[in-house]
Chain A
């Protein structure tokens, strides 16, 4: 190597290792495809997700309906695509909310310690102690009607009708059970990093506590957080799907893979309608696996000494 070669950055090293990981790269392809479908959904669909074609009810795959129609005559192909949009929302907002809460509280707990730490971690423990899905179930069942009423009283009737309240409540509930894990991770990082010499050096030049926490420690603590969050996306999608499958997640007419699987699983032995169940299921599995592989790939790429 020439002496004047540009030194490789950590980013390029990581990207290089990641790109050599085949499952992870396949995961990226699937994820990119998913977001592309979500973004361009209006261009790809052949029908609205609640549009009914009474001439073709329970048709198998035919020319007008690539994946067939269900018992209401809704186009399954279009519904799968609209549901991709819901999944894409889940994959962005749930991890983002968990990340904000988890990093913020983990940082507070780990850097300041003492009673701040005790309170935050005990609250996290309590949330952790509940079975996650059951907790979200509980929130969705009890809080959602109240939020819906409240949104209507402040005059956002149209907003409520569009089903956005569904999204907000479900996403918040999933984030609420998601952040304690991240907070523990961030706290652990801060506990070790705050005693490092460079933190002392930063204090010695008069840097304030907040700046030290955010500018000096946080960037050093991010690696495991990135891995946990990217790996957690699949989990968030799976959780939303489970809720919708059970009927407490996104409500019709909002489309969701969970709902579709729940609606169509009766067709699993049907001679011509089995694609109705199989297609959303395969897509769901592919997407969850994709994010898991991406998470694993990042984990290996960011920790090259693991092997």
Chain B
């Protein structure tokens, strides 16, 4: 399939009073048309900033994309003008946000918020845009859509609002849909509905999806490929089955170990990764995961490992081969 997106060495920093926050530190990946990429990692690891940088949604100041390329349809999105990037946002690239309770404007009707992109990008008039908005609301499963167009966001539940957000994200038939933790703020049953909905729409409309989450379970059934991020870097990339079956980075192993499993004995404690991610203002030399890593060796302290092939379509950034090398420390955080 044709290449849709190629990110090369993307770096984003925030210039704050306390110093420069290295939010995204040179990430590179590709995405084909119609492909679904899951990005996982804990809070503050640069997942959101990484994808927001793609369409230059970083608040500036204090944020700044300091390096790299984002080639979308052969065009570097970081080099085009402000009006050109606006014609891509919402049009070729749709976005869904984490909290549907706050990402809809409370004083504008649902209809007005859905028709905005349609009028802006597709040049529809009011009547056409409203007709399309009804179609979109039906598409995302809102009953009696035509009657609800003039309702305000407070008249919708959280799950319904997220459906509206999806309708807005999809309104112009984007080639890429970015979903930034779209299920995190919803309760579990609604989460499953939203995941199913996006999967169904992706299959119908053939768009590519980047799905950010910190919940490995949510993306497992949806993504083709996964990126694992840590401290603003990609530490592992693999096909979804490969990643779950054969994780090669100690951090990924830790993440998978922290998931509850159906075959787990009751009363057993979940594994957790001890400690906290490093301070992004003063990133340590060497591997960013060093302080929390069970497999660490001397070299990890001084040299940052690069992302290298460890299998077919499988890359990991680790000096150690976790399939062969032994655990060196059981409780790294306390001996660090």
Instruction: Name A's B-contacting residues (CB within 8 A).
Output: 7, 195-198, 200-208, 215-216, 219-220
Complex CA gap A202/B155 in Å reads 20
Known: A198-B104, A219-B107, A220-B105. A204 touches B89 (CB 8 A): yes
Complex CA gap A220/B152 in Å reads 13
Among the listed B57, B91, B108, which residue makes an inter-chain contact with A203, where contact means beta carbons less than 8 Å apart? B57
Contact between B107 and A206, CB atoms less than 8 A apart: no
Write the B146-160 contact mask toward A (1 if CB under 8 angstroms, else 0): 000001000100000
> Measured between C-beta atoms, what is the minimum distance from B88 to chain A in Å?
7
Residues of B within 8 A of A215 (CB): 108
> Measured between C-beta atoms, what is the minimum distance from A115 to chain B in Å?
12
Complex CA gap A205/B87 in Å reads 9
Complex CA gap A198/B161 in Å reads 12
Interface segment, one of B116-124, B133-141, B188-196, B256-264: B116-124
Among the listed B95, B102, B121, which residue makes an inter-chain contact with A196, where contact means beta carbons less than 8 Å apart? B102
Q: For residues 47 through 66 of chain B, which have their beta carbon under 8 Å from a beta carbon of chain A?
A: 55, 57, 59
Q: Does B286 contact A (CB under 8 A)?
A: no
Known: A196-B102, A220-B107. A204 touches B116 (CB 8 A): no
Complex CA gap A65/B109 in Å reads 57
Among the listed A195, A202, A203, A206, which residue makes an inter-chain contact with B105, where contact means beta carbons less than 8 Å apart? A202
Contact between B86 and A201, CB atoms less than 8 A apart: no
Complex CA gap A259/B18 in Å reads 60
Contact between A205 and B117, CB atoms less than 8 A apart: yes
Could you give 8 example pairs across A and B, Cβ below 8 Å? A201-B104, A201-B105, A204-B94, A205-B90, A205-B117, A219-B108, A220-B106, A220-B107
> Measured between C-beta atoms, what is the minimum distance from B63 to chain A in Å?
12
Residues of A within 8 A of B165 (CB): 201
> Measured between C-beta atoms, what is the minimum distance from A31 to chain B in Å?
27
Chain A CB within 10 Å, residue with most, of B55, B86, B87: B86
> Measured between C-beta atoms, what is the minimum distance from A277 to chain B in Å?
48
> What's the dominant secondary structure at chain A's contact region?
helix
> Measured between C-beta atoms, what is the minimum distance from B107 to chain A in Å?
4
> Measured between C-beta atoms, what is the minimum distance from A78 to chain B in Å?
46
Residues of A within 8 A of B151 (CB): 7
Q: Does B99 contact A (CB under 8 A)?
A: yes
Q: Does B230 contact A (CB under 8 A)?
A: no
> Measured between C-beta atoms, what is the minimum distance from A203 to chain B in Å?
6
Q: For residues 194 through 233 of chain B, which have their beta carbon under 8 Å from a beta carbon of chain A?
A: none
Complex CA gap A195/B86 in Å reads 19
Contact between B108 and A201, CB atoms less than 8 A apart: no
Q: Which residue of A has the minimal Cβ distance to B171?
A: A205
Residues of B within 8 A of A198 (CB): 102-106
Q: Does B72 contact A (CB under 8 A)?
A: no
Q: A197-B102, A198-B103, A207-B86 are in contact. List 6 more A-B contacts (CB 8 A).
A: A198-B106, A202-B116, A205-B95, A205-B120, A206-B86, A207-B120
Contact between B90 and A200, CB atoms less than 8 A apart: no
Among the listed A196, A200, A206, which residue makes an inter-chain contact with B117, where contact means beta carbons less than 8 Å apart? A206
Among the listed A7, A195, A196, A206, which residue makes an inter-chain contact with B90, where contact means beta carbons less than 8 Å apart? A206
> Measured between C-beta atoms, what is the minimum distance from A37 to chain B in Å?
36
Known: A7-B155, A200-B57. A205 touches B105 (CB 8 A): no
Q: Which residue of B has the minimal Cβ distance to A196?
A: B102
Q: For residues 6 through 54 of chain B, which have their beta carbon under 8 Å from a beta carbon of chain A?
A: none
Contact between B120 and A197, CB atoms less than 8 A apart: no
Among the listed B88, B94, B99, which residue makes an inter-chain contact with A197, where contact means beta carbons less than 8 Å apart? B99
Write the B80-101 contact mask toward A (1 if CB under 8 angstroms, else 0): 0001001111110011010100
Contact between B97 and A205, CB atoms less than 8 A apart: no
Residues of A within 8 A of B103 (CB): 197-198, 200-201
Q: Which residue of A has the minimal Cβ distance to B153?
A: A198
Among the listed B106, B116, B171, which residue makes an inter-chain contact with A207, where contact means beta carbons less than 8 Å apart? B116
Complex CA gap A78/B155 in Å reads 54
Q: Does B168 contact A (CB under 8 A)?
A: yes
Contact between A204 and B57, CB atoms less than 8 A apart: yes
Known: A197-B97, A200-B57, A200-B103. A205 touches B108 (CB 8 A): no
Complex CA gap A216/B108 in Å reads 8
Contact between A208 and B102, CB atoms less than 8 A apart: no
Q: Which 3 A-B pairs have the closest CB atoms?
A: A205-B90, A206-B89, A206-B90
Contact between B107 and A204, CB atoms less than 8 A apart: no
Q: Which residue of B has the minimal Cβ distance to A217?
A: B105
Complex CA gap A205/B88 in Å reads 8
Known: A205-B116, A216-B105. A200 touches B89 (CB 8 A): no
Q: Which residue of B has the minimal Cβ distance to A215?
A: B108
Residues of B within 8 A of A207 (CB): 86, 90, 116, 120
Q: Which residue of A has the minimal Cβ distance to B56?
A: A203
Complex CA gap A215/B112 in Å reads 10
Known: A198-B102, A201-B103. A208 touches B155 (CB 8 A): no
Complex CA gap A272/B32 in Å reads 95
> Measured between C-beta atoms, what is the minimum distance from A46 to chain B in Å?
49
